[in-house]
Amino acid sequence: MNRETISFTFEVYDSVEELSAEDAWLLQEARKVTNQAYAPYSQFNVGAIARLTNGETVTGTNQENASYPVGLCAERVLLSAASSIYPNVPIETMAISYHNTKGESDRPVTPCGICRQTLAEYQLRLNHPIRLILSGLEGKIYIIPQSNMLLPLGFNSSDLQ
């Protein structure tokens, strides 16, 4: 038997003031866009914004419906919009934040499993890393260098060959 380890390194910041001006702007916009989420069932409003390699930005919010928990996460809404509006333009950085109207919003939020798979596929398809900035409305901030780091041993198109 062999034993192997998978790990990755990410940055942790105590506040938005520690970020570069560009990253701080993206995070502040992600925090603002949480107000556009439609989450009447979970009361957990998620907002995301991405800066593409062409300099454009695209936003997304979670969208729930009456057959809850069926809905769309902010990350997948954003990825769908980006690939529709700017086909084949990679995402440089995506900032994701949330507002939990039933509780605290003071620690970084991480993408759910299906969003991790979708981010990894998007990154692979366009052959460009997607850097993630993860936070709540306040508190610590995580910066993940590549979105596929959140899905070690992930399933991808090469598995279908």
Is the pLDDT score of 157 beyond 90?
no
Amino acid at 46: V
pLDDT of residue 9: 97
φ/ψ (deg, to 5) at 70: -65, 130
Does domain 11-151 sit in CATH 3.40.140.10?
yes
**In whole numbers, what is the pLDDT of the chain averaged over residues?**
96
Query: With pLDDT > 90 as the criterion, what percentage of the chain qualifies?
Result: 93
Q: Which helix (H) or strand (E) is 131 found in, with range?
A: strand 131-135
The answer to whether the CB of 91 falls within 8 A of the CB of 125 is no
75 is catalytic: yes
User: Domain ranges in the chain?
Assistant: 11-151
pLDDT at 70: 87
Catalytic residue, chosen from 11, 18, 75, 121, is 75
The answer to whether the beta carbons of residues 133 and 96 sit under 8 Å apart is: yes
Tell if the pTM clears 0.85, that is, is over it. yes
Provide the pLDDT for residue 19.
Answer: 98
